[in-house]
Amino acid sequence: MLVTTLGRMCGIIGYVGASSAEDVVLAGLRRMEYRGYDSAGIALVTADGLAIAKKAGKLANLEKVLADQPLPPATTGVGHTRWATHGPPVDRNAHPHISDDGKVAVVHNGIIENFAALRSELERQGVELSSDTDTEVVAHLLAGAYDSSTEPATDRFAAAMRAVCLRLEGAFTLVAIHTDHPGQVVGARRNSPLVAGIGEGAGEYFLGSDVSAFIAHTRDALELGQDQVVTLDVEHGIAVTDLAGTSLQPRRFHVDWSAAAAEKGGYPWFMLKEIDEQPAAIADTLRGRLADTGQIVLDEVRLSDEDLRDIDKVFIVACGTSNHAAMVSKYAIEHWTRLPCEVELASEFRYRDPVLDRSTLVIAISQSGETMDTLMALRHAKDQRARVLAICNTNGSTIPRESDAVLYTRAGPEVAVASTKAFLAQLAACYLVALYLAQARGTKYADEIATIVAQLNKLPDAVAETLGRMDQVRAIGRELAKEPTILFVGRHVGYPVALEGALKLKELAYIHAEGFAAGELKHGYISLIEQGTPVVAVVPARGRNSVHSKVISNIQEIRARGAKTIVIAADGDDEVAPYADHLIHVPKTPTLLAPVLTTIPMQVLACEIADTRGLDVDQPRNLAKSVTVE
């Protein structure tokens, strides 16, 4: 069981082939810098041994070092962008780390939980460690295991990796090179992502934390499973084994997006590009989901309709922005299926000993498919014999592989740390899953499902229309850029939208922001409001059982205390106008689907405020794209 309290999502790339390893590795690191930007480094196997360069700070710092002090030519190498856990982000703690004999270089994502004991063991042997990291012990252990190995030469380095992995506790991805094997890279993974790429040229292979590392070179990849070791060999190809050395045949898959999708395309920030890509992300996620028979179709299903009819309770587990998508989906699931549904933070789920059994469905939502808290919640659910359905944006990642059913969002690569298009794609996927459950359980007729799908299919155009109205929001963002506090309120499905708006502002602009249910104002939150405090309010459309009038009353309450109100409402809703200092209209859509539109002004507002404050929109401080250990 993992007990660590810190997470890390570093970017790793390994390469063997005929091209310049330095060029391939640096290009891969640029595409993965969103995974960590506390430091960066590169190691090459050259004719004269290992050549290494590493530097604290963003990748640009390393590139400057290499421009001033070029490395010798090489066709085998590894690289790393770091999000710091063990040891501060200084030069000595940057990866790669080198063995004491100077022959092994290793890069690492994750946390070695027993590193202190291993470090003490090495120090007793007289090894002098030069960093504060848990990673360096692996380099020394690999060198020792290699020297004592009796395996054939071609498998000797992989055998050393297997031996070392058997000693390690925690979650890790390791990629290493050795001067005695200039055409070989060896990697291993446990509870941390790693994928192999098959180059278009003979003898060209890649390893990466995700496919963006090598997407410019190939879109053909191999899934690597838990406790597997992979060897890239320029002469002998790719070999995958378990930790016992048994040969395995990994599943091959093709990436359905190109390198261009991972580039800025003329935008100043990836986040702006990804906000504008939201109509396509939703359309692609919805495309082909309604079969000619009128049935909702998922990507992979190992559950029968009878299994789903046996379900008597649903839990949704997720983290961060994905948890807000889960909160929205709770409304849809309960309304369309009449199943009780609970939303849980994945990091808390298994520690409170939830009551699960074979009649429980657990839905796990993760953009990367590697979010460790969500993965461990999934495994706990499986241990309790619950059925698991995954919503994920990354083909071949761990969470969908370990689930009973999968619906992939098709948002393409999301590089900005703060999620935008992946969130809206998750919302679309959550609606589809809710309809799938309603279909299997018979709580919605086929024509009712088709009607809702038709409404969903109108969302991409509505999102595009909303994006075209954002100049007003950008102006509001510039006006609010110096505010110390901004509050967000909503009711019903507007409540998770308020939470998402506050999270985006905290992530990007480092402003104190809170989102809360508008009905809770009188229970304490209203004490936060002073003269001029900006409050963003999400107003639901009018309709049967709508809380529209109640939200207007809430807005009147906060205005009476001096708040400055920024109100998001549906087209045609002028009733709220007298109570809004700024009124932002979005196209009218059914209440349950409204978060897809009302979220967009929140995204643009946070982005504009951060940009006006001179902050890095794509790479906020202290954050990485996902957390891949607990």
Domain boundaries, the chain: 11-253, 264-457, 468-618
User: Does 529 or 544 have the greater pLDDT score?
Assistant: 529
Q: Which of 54, 421, 564, 625 is catalytic?
A: 625
Q: Where are the alpha helices (DSSP H) in 290-371?
A: 305-309, 320-337, 346-349
pLDDT band at 192 (very low <50, low <70, confident <90, very high): confident
Q: Which of 10, 165, 430, 607 is catalytic?
A: 10
Q: Residue 519 has which token pair?
A: 């009905």
Cα–Cα distance between 295 and 306 in angstroms, integer? 15
- The DSSP line for 370-434 is --HHHHHHHHHHHHTT-EEEEEESSTT-HHHHTSSEEEE-------SSS-SHHHHHHHHHHHHHH
Averaged pLDDT for residues 340-350: 95
Q: Are strands 205-208 and 195-198 parallel, antiparallel or unpaired?
A: antiparallel
| Burial of 246: CB neighbours in 10 Å, binned 0-12, 13-18, 19+ | exposed
388-440 pLDDT, tens digit per residue, is 999 999 887 889 999 999 999 999 888 899 999 999 999 999 999 999 999 99
Provide the b/e sequence for 23-43 (b: ≥16 CB within 10 Å): ebbbbbbbbbbbbbbbbbbbb
Task: State yes or no: pLDDT of 185 exceeds 70.
Answer: yes
Cα–Cα distance between 409 and 404 in angstroms, integer? 17
Hey, what CATH class is 468-618 in? alpha beta
Cα–Cα distance between 336 and 592 in angstroms, integer? 10
265-303 pLDDT, tens digit per residue, is 788 999 999 999 999 999 999 998 988 788 899 988 999
Q: Residue 565 has which token pair?
A: 């109100």
N-term to C-term CA, the chain = 10
Provide the pLDDT for residue 625: 65
Provide the pLDDT for residue 312: 96
State the virtual CA torsion across 599, 604, 606, 608 in degrees, nearest 10. -170
Cα–Cα distance between 162 and 247 in angstroms, integer? 13
Task: State yes or no: pLDDT of 628 exceeds 70.
Answer: no
Distance, C-alpha 626 to centroid of its chain: 4
- ∠ CA(458), CA(409), CA(170), 5° rounding? 155
Provide the pLDDT for residue 2: 31
Q: Which of 83-92, 213-222, 495-504 has the lowest mean pLDDT?
A: 83-92
Q: Which of 237-241, 444-448, 499-503 has the lowest mean pLDDT?
A: 444-448
Residue with tokens 């155009």: 461
Averaged pLDDT for residues 216-220: 92
364-386 pLDDT, tens digit per residue, is 999 989 888 999 999 999 999 99
458 is catalytic: no
Residue 410's nearest CA partner among 544, 568, 284 is 284
Portion of the chain with pLDDT greater than 70, in percent: 95
Cα–Cα distance between 306 and 304 in angstroms, integer? 5
Provide the pLDDT for residue 1: 28
311: CB partners within 8 A, 6+ apart: 339, 359, 360, 361, 387, 437, 441
Cα–Cα distance between 593 and 461 in angstroms, integer? 13
Per-residue DSSP letter, 73: P
Q: Hey, which CATH number is domain 264-457, 1.10.10.350, 3.40.50.300, 3.90.550.10, 3.40.50.10490?
A: 3.40.50.10490
Provide the b/e sequence for 469-508 (b: ≥16 CB within 10 Å): ebeebbebbebbbebeebbbbbbbbbbbbbbbbbbbbbbb
Averaged pLDDT for residues 305-314: 94
Averaged pLDDT for residues 216-232: 93
Q: Evaluate whether 78 touches 597 at the Cβ level (below 8 Å).
A: no
Cα–Cα distance between 121 and 402 in angstroms, integer? 36
Residue with tokens 């309304």: 335
Cα–Cα distance between 532 and 518 in angstroms, integer? 18
Task: State yes or no: pLDDT of 4 exceeds 60.
Answer: no
pLDDT band at 7 (very low <50, low <70, confident <90, very high): very low
Task: State yes or no: pLDDT of 559 exceeds 70.
Answer: yes
Residue with tokens 């810098």: 33
pLDDT band at 3 (very low <50, low <70, confident <90, very high): very low
Angle between helices 153-165 and 135-148 (to 10 degrees): 130
Cα–Cα distance between 148 and 21 in angstroms, integer? 29
Number of H helices, E strands in the chain: 19, 26
pLDDT band at 5 (very low <50, low <70, confident <90, very high): very low
For the chain, give the mean pLDDT.
Answer: 92
Averaged pLDDT for residues 134-144: 95
72-104 pLDDT, tens digit per residue, is 999 999 999 987 666 778 899 999 999 999 999
Provide the pLDDT for residue 330: 98
Q: What is the topology classification, in CATH, of domain 11-253?
A: Glutamine Phosphoribosylpyrophosphate, subunit 1, domain 1 (3.60.20)
Count the residues in the chain: 630
Distance, C-alpha 392 to centroid of its chain: 9
| Burial of 153: CB neighbours in 10 Å, binned 0-12, 13-18, 19+ | exposed
446-471 pLDDT, tens digit per residue, is 999 999 999 999 999 999 999 999 99
pTM for this model (two decimals): 0.76
Provide the pLDDT for residue 622: 82
Cα–Cα distance between 35 and 31 in angstroms, integer? 9
26-74 pLDDT, tens digit per residue, is 999 988 876 777 889 999 999 999 999 999 988 999 999 999 999 999 9
Helix or strand (DSSP H, E) at 41? strand 39-46
List Cα–Cα distances, 89 to 55, 75, 83, 619, in angstroms: 9, 28, 8, 16
464-493 pLDDT, tens digit per residue, is 999 999 999 999 999 999 999 999 999 999
Same fold, 11-253 and 468-618: no
Q: Evaluate whether 331 touches 325 at the Cβ level (below 8 Å).
A: no
165 is catalytic: no
Q: Residue 610 has which token pair?
A: 């951060």
Cα–Cα distance between 346 and 365 in angstroms, integer? 9
Task: State yes or no: pLDDT of 614 exceeds 50.
Answer: yes
